[in-house]
Amino acid sequence: MTDICQSVAPARRLKWEFTLFFVLAPVLGAVLLPANYMFAMLFGMMLLGLILLSLTPGFSWGELTQGARAAAHPWLLLSFALGVFLLCYLVMRAFAPEAGFFLIRENPRLMLMIAVLYPLVSALPQEIIYRALYFRRYEAILPQGAAGLWLNGAVFSLAHLMYWSWLVLIMTLAGGLVFAWAYRVRHSFALALALHAVAGVILFAVGLGVFFYSGNVTRPF
């Protein structure tokens, strides 16, 4: 009986922790904070995530480098990049044709900065939070198989609620599923990070960054 109680207590604590970190925090941030606080919130969550990872029993920082070979697979990255480009182009033509390739045409220097910095200042913090922390610390309370991937995609999408755009939520849900697959199925944090970086840079290059710009956010209240 004592052993059962001891196992239930940590699971209950993890569920509360998971809810606060992955559900309540992004919802409250979207409702209460201005959209231009996005990066401050992201880095704050990353720092807290790093602390929680360091407190996770059995976790080793070397796990983040495991599966690095998968991230260097040229055909996988090339086929993914092509697929993302085609999807982003179709979405751009349907919902924001005026923004097509805007940065490449009007501000190539900014586009180059995004291509260089996005993997470090955006993709990396998000992957630490939504892949490494999510799957490693909360593994015991997560559903297995496809349900686990869908849940990860859903909370990753919820993290982008601050943009108040159904299109952003759909795009990030799709991206979250792919990145979760890379981490969970291919067992590669590096691959998840590489795919995230590729998708983000292509998204901005095609012109869909207009939906991820805090200055364009319009709250529904």
> What pLDDT shows up at residue 71?
76
Q: Give pLDDT tens digits for 46-101.
A: 999 999 999 999 999 999 998 888 777 889 999 999 999 999 999 999 999 999 99
The helix/strand/coil state of 58 is coil
Q: Are 65 and 147 in contact (CB under 8 A)?
A: no
Of 220, 207, 17, give the one whose Cα is nearest residue 111. 207
Of 114, 143, 139, 127, give the one whose Cα is nearest residue 201. 114
CA separation for the pair 112, 98 (Å, rounded) = 21
CA separation for the pair 115, 111 (Å, rounded) = 6
Could you read off the pLDDT tens digit of each residue along the chain, which spans 221 residues?
334 433 455 889 999 999 999 999 999 999 999 888 888 999 999 999 999 999 999 999 999 998 888 777 889 999 999 999 999 999 999 999 999 999 999 999 999 999 999 999 999 999 999 999 999 999 999 999 999 999 999 999 999 999 999 999 999 999 999 999 999 999 999 999 999 999 999 999 999 999 999 888 888 88
Domain range annotation of the chain: 2-216
CA separation for the pair 66, 141 (Å, rounded) = 23
CA separation for the pair 77, 24 (Å, rounded) = 34
